[in-house]
Structure 1
Amino acid sequence: MSQLSPFVAIRRDLHQIPEIGFQEFKTQAYLLNYLHSIQNDRMEIETWRTGIFVRIAGTNPRKTIGYRADIDGLPIKEQTELAFASQHEDYMHACGHDFHMSIALGVLTHFAKHAIEDNLLFIFQPAEEGPGGAEPMMKSETMQKWKPDMIVALHVAPEYPVGTIAVKEGLLFANTSELFIDLKGKGGHAAYPHETNDMVIAACQLVGQLQSIVSRNVNPLDSAVITIGKITGGTVQNIIAEEARLEGTIRTLNAESMNKVKSRIRALVEGIKAGFECEAEIDYGSMYYQVDNEEQLTREFMKFTDEAAEVDFYHCKEAMTGEDFGYMLKEIPGFMFWLGVQSEYGLHHAKLNPNERAIDLAITHLVNYFTFKGNS
């Protein structure tokens, strides 16, 4: 049996301790323990909430290259039956952030031992899945002190073969926003509907109306998605519901369309309030800015990747997925790319099982790229 790669072993350790946003205490402790074990006089480590910044000084720095890895898990009960499955019941690294962390540690470890001319900043970011860690982390004192001149991140892609690097210049991921709508009317006995304001009926009417926004209020040449993933309302079968709640998500390919969709949602909710004589509140929860890859840096990376022996390059299309890395790219030139990990089950699935061979391939490719970029 071949020896397990040290960073695959780290991934398996991290996979067992998934934690949700801003509660990544075990994860932070694990990362810090490893980082302190390799720390030298060129490395500086600072924490921010449950996140970590690691700066590695270059030998003749002209710029700072940033690399971001997100560290949180999801509230999903794992069903993989892996020997190293989650030990935290009802939580799982179902979006591959255990891969993201182990790859970042692999790249960081190399440059802790092998200096390049430029500075490197590794950012271990909490709360990507919610409520959103990138935007507040950008405002931190440490980020302002060590702010990189360019920044890179990856996301695992179960649909691509192992070793595939998929990327495109410009828009890669959509603008996204959570959506929560609470309705409150007047409940009562099921036999006396005329004395109530039924919020189950109001919620059903509203769901149908919301679906008209994309078909009738968004330019057909643009793209938008409104999904209501959860409806709750009422208490038992013979009481008319006094309250109902809709939970969903909005996704658009530009910020202007997001504003238009939200404006239309507010108008429809006002109509429900008037029509059903009820109260209503809208909460947009976490909102993520689009991931917009800087063209020149991305094209340079695409060319570098296309010529690399260890990976296969693929020029992908934009996706309606969301990523709060967009807030970092809003202020710092850079890009995000997909890393093929070939899993039968996709992101956010309880049986997601990425192929671990992708970890060392990604480490090698990023080490080569940062060596090229940091010495040129």
Structure 2
Amino acid sequence: MNPLIKIRRDLHQIPELGFQEVKTQAYLLSYLKSLPQDRITIKKWRTGLFVKIQGLNPQKTIGYRTDIDGLPISEETGLQFSSSHADHMHACGHDFHMSIALGVLTYFTGNPIADNLLFIFQPAEEGPGGAEPMLKSEEMMEWKPDLIFALHIAPEYPVGTIAVKEGLLFANTSELFIDLKGKGGHAARPHETNDMVVAACTLVNQLQTIISRNVDPLDSAVITIGKITGGTVQNIIAENARLEGTIRTLSSESMKKVKHRIEALVKGIEAGFECEAVIDYGSMYHQVYNTESVTRDFMKYLQKETEVKVIECKEAMTGEDFGYMLKEIPGLMFWLGVDSPYGLHHAKLTPNEAAIDVAVSVMTSYISHLENKI
């Protein structure tokens, strides 16, 4: 078996949530320590890792980032190597991402280039967000790369395809939590209560008007309420309700406007239903904005020097905290085709493992090409 496929399957069985990636970190460390150590320096950061490969005559540092956490999803793939952690799954391809990163890293331990390489194994991409604090860490300050790259699997593209674009690739995203507190009571005496189920339902409908009436039609934004909880039993009017969702916008200005309108509507709910409301925006991710010059060079190189199919894609409403790194460091993220009938965050996601070698070949070739460029 291809050793990278074995690594992927091993990692697939031990998905862990953000900042809980203890087994994952231990597995990565065990593999890294099996490699020649003469040019490798490893530093732990919480449940993540920084791995530096010393260059032969470094003029710059080239960074490569992979995320390492899983999702709170019960796997339904039926694979022999399915998750061994109940209600947890690598349903966003981070097992692929790590395997690819290890493949690229392994290549350069045996084929060193002039420049330094920094591999970043980042926890908590799915939440609460590991990129921003990792970017501010002492380790990153010491080894901060001059260029940085990352990829994300794309179930909708066939193996052998890379999709990318200059500029905005992924949206600004924010979590959204709204807690409503009113006055509960007997179902037979609604006039003595302030029903928070009715208030929550009213608010959900009002939130959707923000997109249709407050966002420029030529811009894009999405508000999704994915979960509502409220009440205790069927014959008691609910005293509390909670809405949980996300906000996604293609511009930071739209994010500010959407949040301003959410706050205004929530104040209206407080007045109209004589209740109290608390808004929590949770984690917010900065947009993924690919550096134009780097992306152009990447696309031209792939088209000329490799056999992969390069597609110039459209921006997506997907969120990714790699955007914080691209805010500080030139670089790019691209989509890697993995040809799965099920999409990201789906319990039956089954990416084609042939894509692992495609990505390793692309990145080792392109990084080697970069060593002669400043």
SS at the partner of 2:202? helix
AA partner of residue 134 (structure 2)? M
Deviation at 1:40, TM superposition (A): 1.7
Deviation at 1:309, TM superposition (A): 3.1
| Aligned residue in 2 for 1:367 | 364
In structure 2, how many angstroms separate the alpha carbons of the residues matched to 1:375 and 1:348?
39
In structure 2, how many angstroms separate the alpha carbons of the residues matched to 1:217 and 1:16?
45
| Aligned residue in 2 for 1:49 | 46
For normalisation by structure 2, the TM-score amounts to 0.99
Q: Name which of 291, 304, 308 aligns with 1:307.
A: 304
Q: Name which of 115, 120, 141 aligns with 1:144.
A: 141
In structure 2, how many angstroms separate the alpha carbons of the residues matched to 1:374 and 1:160?
30
Does the alignment pair 1:118 with 2:109?
A: no
AA partner of residue 357 (structure 1)? A
Where do 5+ consecutive residues of structure 1 fail to align? none
Poorly superposed stretches of 4+, deviation over 6 Å: none
SS at the partner of 1:219? coil
Cα offsets for 1:287-343 (capped at 9, x unmatched) = 100000000000000101112334111111100000000000010011000000000
In structure 2, how many angstroms separate the alpha carbons of the residues matched to 1:39 and 1:174?
40
Does the alignment pair 1:228 with 2:225?
A: yes
| Aligned residue in 1 for 2:321 | 324
In structure 2, how many angstroms separate the alpha carbons of the residues matched to 1:374 and 1:85?
39
Does the alignment pair 1:269 with 2:266?
A: yes
For normalisation by structure 1, the TM-score amounts to 0.98
SS at the partner of 2:358? helix
Deviation at 1:112, TM superposition (A): 0.7
| Aligned residue in 2 for 1:215 | 212
SS at the partner of 1:261? helix
Does the alignment pair 1:205 with 2:202?
A: yes
In structure 2, how many angstroms separate the alpha carbons of the residues matched to 1:31 and 1:357?
21
Cα offsets for 1:142-193 (capped at 9, x unmatched) = 0000000010000000000001010000000000001000000000001111
AA partner of residue 356 (structure 1)? E
| Aligned residue in 2 for 1:29 | 26
AA partner of residue 17 (structure 1)? I
What is the 5 A alignment of 1:49-198? 49-198=46-195
In structure 2, how many angstroms separate the alpha carbons of the residues matched to 1:308 and 1:338?
19
AA partner of residue 371 (structure 2)? G
Where do 5+ consecutive residues of structure 2 fail to align? none
Deviation at 1:247, TM superposition (A): 0.6
Determine what percentage of the aligned residue pairs are the same residue.
Answer: 75
Deviation at 1:60, TM superposition (A): 1.1
AA partner of residue 5 (structure 1)? N
| Aligned residue in 2 for 1:341 | 338
In structure 2, how many angstroms separate the alpha carbons of the residues matched to 1:128 and 1:275?
38
Q: Is the 8 A contact 1:116 1:375 kept in 2?
A: no
AA partner of residue 199 (structure 1)? M
In structure 1, how many angstroms separate the alpha carbons of the residues matched to 2:48 and 2:269?
42
| Aligned residue in 2 for 1:280 | 277
SS at the partner of 1:292? strand
AA partner of residue 290 (structure 1)? Q
| Aligned residue in 2 for 1:10 | 7
Does the alignment pair 1:291 with 2:268?
A: no
Cα offsets for 1:331-359 (capped at 9, x unmatched) = 00110000000000000000000000000
| Aligned residue in 1 for 2:255 | 258
What's the Cα RMSD here? 0.7
Q: Is the 8 A contact 1:310 1:365 kept in 2?
A: no
May I ask how many residue pairs the two structures share in their alignment? Answer: 373
In structure 1, how many angstroms separate the alpha carbons of the residues matched to 2:372 and 2:27?
31
SS at the partner of 2:315? coil
In structure 2, how many angstroms separate the alpha carbons of the residues matched to 1:80 and 1:374?
41
Q: Is the 8 A contact 2:15 2:89 kept in 1?
A: yes
